[in-house]
Structure 1
């Protein structure tokens, strides 16, 4: 009876107590050995009883170890699948940048709240590849996808890891969110990106090299100014206006402005 109770305890250790596979196995084997030594020392067991008890404990440990290992593998697969789904929910599948939905629902509002709390500067850059439709129409969408991936790679490489955010806003349009960055810093980054994109071919094979240019709209908000705040979408609207001003002025340029909240009407 003690051996049967011990077997139930071993099943509980393997399957129902949250622990790592290695720890559960070590605890069960050590407990089995201690129990066996006590049973042999205290109880006057016959050979058949000892053999029966040993086989019972070995069987329970074997089944428990196999079941615990399978359970752990299943848990790892579930965690991996959940991680992939979570990644896909806020990342663009082509470029690896954040997608627009995640930006609108979480990212920008979170950065605006953080800038308001400290307070600090916050800069938003809207950028768009010039004449990208011509590339798709001339060379095909697979080549256009490579150009977009190249563009996104340059944007991510120029940003600070775990601080700045790169968002694929739509099509060939991207947005950069730069915490604790003033207008001067945002313009300097945009100009560096503009030159890097124009100087390096976005696509190259044995037959041709494709170069592109990009236009940028930079808006910076100083949240240390009294009364600064409001809807984060106003920053996007202003950056978009500056981007289209750059497009209208001939493309391959940077337009910038410091965001000022409209005065409240009494």
Structure 2
């Protein structure tokens, strides 16, 4: 583009300019050296809900006073001063211009997600026309932002599907293994205690035989929900370990604390009063095995799991509906 001779310093455009600028699918805003609006294309005017007469010749901050002190205003001033371009991404600078989706009513304005490119006129041309102009190009990135949000939601759902048990809505075995390993390594670094409780629904095979598998699934879901509700701290983890076994990982918890919580769970399940005609107690009960360790180098999380499993076996062997514990391996017993 070249400047018109003997005229105000504005670019000369051919007769096709209105057609081109009217069909550009991004916002174009030209400012002079005093940041007055020289030109705004139809795309931008529609989304700003302004007419050309409202913008023409007006200082940008008079048209959009909310931009005062904004990063966009500072970037424009710097671009006019130095001649260097700038880019404002939606990620770092959320929708700086008050631009709205054109198809929505004024009662439901939805601000466009924007990426903004600031392009100042080069030094040679600025000297030729007597001042530096700056082009502000606005791209609507709302669809891209929506796609990114959708992909994130899908990734979160996929993660949940991979780590949540479909029947009980608590963590599955994969999640249990991952959390036990993570908390073991954390306890090792912090030299803190880590406790594990394994619960097993007593006489569950007989329950399924007597009531059917649909009732069995409902029973398992109820018991899992009760156990999960007892692990109330943010880092407590409750997962379906396998079959009718449910594990509870208790970070920064000593043996006494784990025992008390396990007994509370056993009592709560019995108090729920789910009928079980085959059980000697007449209701659904659970057995619990408790283990606790302060990890030391060379010891793995499988040690804690083995102790809890053996304690659970002992609880079932001694009559069920009870809590048993094996002393930590670190005691030498």
TM over 0.5: yes
Is the partner of 1:250 in helix, strand or coil?
coil
CA distance in 1, matches of 2:27, 2:165: 47
Provide, for residues 202-243 of structure 1, a one-character-per-residue CA deviation record: whole Å limited to 9, x for no partner. Answer: 369xxxxx72011110001124xxx45522112111110110
Q: Which residue of 2 aligns with 1:110?
A: 182
Is the 1:217–1:246 Cα contact (8 Å) retained in structure 2?
yes
Of the three residues 42, 56, 64, the one matched with 1:37 is 56
CA distance in 1, matches of 2:21, 2:155: 38
State whether structure 2 residue 165 is matched by structure 1 residue 92.
yes
Is the 1:151–1:202 Cα contact (8 Å) retained in structure 2?
no
Closer, same or farther: CA 136–28 of 1 in aligned 2, 3 Å = same
CA distance in 2, matches of 1:115, 1:82: 29
Closer, same or farther: CA 62–183 of 1 in aligned 2, 3 Å = same
Q: Which residue of 2 aligns with 1:10?
A: 27
Structural RMSD (CA): 3.4
Closer, same or farther: CA 190–5 of 1 in aligned 2, 3 Å = same
- Given the two structures, how large is their TM-score scaled by the length of structure 1? 0.71
CA distance in 2, matches of 1:83, 1:26: 38
State whether structure 2 residue 227 is matched by structure 1 residue 155.
yes
Shift of 1:119: 1.4
CA distance in 2, matches of 1:27, 1:117: 59
Q: Which residue of 2 aligns with 1:168?
A: 240
Q: Which residue of 1 aligns with 2:322?
A: 253
Structure number with greater Rg is: 2
Provide, for residues 29-50 of structure 1, a one-character-per-residue CA deviation record: whole Å limited to 9, x for no partner. Answer: 38985996259xxxxxxxxxxx
Is the 1:147–1:203 Cα contact (8 Å) retained in structure 2?
no
Provide, for residues 182-216 of structure 1, a one-character-per-residue CA deviation record: whole Å limited to 9, x for no partner. Answer: 00011111111111111212369xxxxx7201111
CA distance in 1, matches of 2:260, 2:268: 12
Is the 2:275–2:284 Cα contact (8 Å) retained in structure 1?
no
CA distance in 1, matches of 2:268, 2:215: 19
CA distance in 2, matches of 1:97, 1:131: 22
Structure number with the bigger relative contact order (C-alpha 8 A, sep ≥ 6) is 1
State whether structure 2 residue 306 is matched by structure 1 residue 242.
no
Provide, for residues 42-78 of structure 1, a one-character-per-residue CA deviation record: whole Å limited to 9, x for no partner. Answer: xxxxxxxxxxxxxxxxxxx859x7x865555544443
Is the 1:183–1:257 Cα contact (8 Å) retained in structure 2?
no
Provide structure 2 residue ranges, at least 5 long, that are not aligned to the other structure. Answer: 1-12, 29-43, 59-100, 104-111, 113-139, 277-281
Shift of 1:161: 3.7
Moved more, 27-36 or 145-154: 27-36
Q: Matches of residues 111-130 of structure 1 in structure 2 within 5 Å?
A: 111-130=183-202
Shift of 1:253: 1.1
Of the three residues 101, 105, 108, the one matched with 2:174 is 101
CA distance in 2, matches of 1:84, 1:181: 31
CA distance in 2, matches of 1:160, 1:221: 21
Provide structure 1 residue ranges, at least 5 long, that are not aligned to the other structure. Answer: 12-24, 40-60, 205-209
Query: Greater share of helix residues, 1 or 2?
Result: 1
- Given the two structures, how large is their TM-score scaled by the length of structure 2? 0.57
